């Protein structure tokens, strides 16, 4: 991260936290274009974003019993898919509204680190609208830092 980014992050008016930084796109322009124009792929588009900005905190080891993003199996088991993400219904998916602002004592996400860019929010919204397909097995397993 460049010094300029850090300074902008520190100076930005914020939502109650000093540590939420302006985000940069995890995906390349080319990948974003594919997601914008066609079908959003979990493996190519969604997973890299969740891996970079969410999954280090949202897995069974870091937060036992809470919403996990580690794999399709854990996502179903912990309600990530079905409760927080309602496939086909982005407007009812609190996974998305949690990115904008806090709710009932839970902070806006992520609470620290780089926030999602507008492109990344749109991509997640479109993925959920298209049915939130999440493959089983290795392709649907996120790399979680130990």
Instruction: Write down how long the chain is.
Output: 146
Is residue 53 within the footprint of ligand HEC (CB under 6 A)?
Answer: yes
Spatial separation of the C-alpha atoms in residues 93 and 87, rounded to whole Å = 8
Spatial separation of the C-alpha atoms in residues 42 and 12, rounded to whole Å = 32
Considering the complex, what minimum distance in angstroms separates the CB of residue 84 from ligand HEC?
A: 5
Which of 110, 127, 128, 144 binds ligand HEC (CB under 6 A)? It is 110
Is residue 134 within the footprint of ligand HEC (CB under 6 A)?
Answer: no
For residue 144 the two structure tokens come to: 């979680």
Is residue 58 within the footprint of ligand HEC (CB under 6 A)?
Answer: yes
Q: How many CB atoms lie within 10 A of CB 53?
A: 20
Piece of 9-17, 40-48, 106-114, 128-136 that binds ligand HEC (CB under 6 A): 106-114
Spatial separation of the C-alpha atoms in residues 134 and 140, rounded to whole Å = 6
Binding site for ligand HEC (CB under 6 A): 53-54, 56-58, 66-67, 84, 94-95, 98-99, 106-107, 109-113, 116
């Amino acid at each position: 991260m460049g010094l300029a980014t850090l300074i902008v992050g520190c100076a930005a008016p914020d939502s109650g936290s000093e540590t939420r930084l302006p985000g940069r796109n995890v995906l390349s322009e080319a990948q974003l274009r594919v997601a914008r124009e066609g079908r959003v792929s979990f493996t190519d588009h969604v997973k890299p974003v969740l891996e970079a900005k969410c999954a280090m905190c949202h897995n069974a080891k870091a937060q036992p019993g809470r919403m996990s993003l580690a794999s399709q199996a854990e996502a179903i088991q912990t309600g990530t898919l079905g409760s927080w993400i309602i496939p086909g219904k982005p407007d009812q998916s609190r996974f998305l509204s949690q990115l904008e602002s806090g709710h009932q004592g839970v902070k806006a996400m992520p609470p620290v680190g780089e926030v999602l860019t507008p492109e990344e929010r749109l991509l997640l919204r479109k993925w959920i609208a298209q049915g939130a397909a999440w493959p089983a097995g290795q392709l649907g397993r996120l790399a979680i830092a130990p």
